Structure 1
Amino acid sequence: MNTNDIIGTIGVGIILLAYFLNIFSWIKKDGVLFYMMNIIGASIACFTSYLIHYFPFVILEGTWALVSVIGLLKNIKKPQVVS
Structure 2
Amino acid sequence: MHDSHAWQAFSFVGAMMILVAYGGQQMKRMDPRSAAYNLLNIIGSGILCYSAFRPFNLGFVVLEGTWVLISVYAMMRNRRERPAD
Are residue 36 (structure 1) and residue 36 (structure 2) matched? no
Gaps of 5+ in 1: none
What TM-score results when the alignment is normalised by the length of structure 1? Answer: 0.88
Gaps of 5+ in 2: none
* AA matched with 1:3: A
Instruction: Map residues 16-35 of structure 1 onto 2, 5 A cutoff.
Output: 16-35=19-38
| Residue-pair matches, total | 82
Runs of 4+ off more than 6 Å:
none
Q: 1:45 aligns with which of 44, 48, 53?
A: 48
* AA matched with 1:39: I
CA RMSD of aligned residues (A): 1.7
* AA matched with 1:30: R
- Using the TM superposition, give the Cα deviation of residue 13 of structure 1 relative to its aligned residue in structure 2, in angstroms: 0.9
CA deviations 1:45-78 (Å, max 9, x no partner) are 0000112211210110000010000000000011
Instruction: Map residues 1-83 of structure 1 onto 2, 5 A cutoff.
Output: 2-80=5-83
* AA matched with 2:22: Y
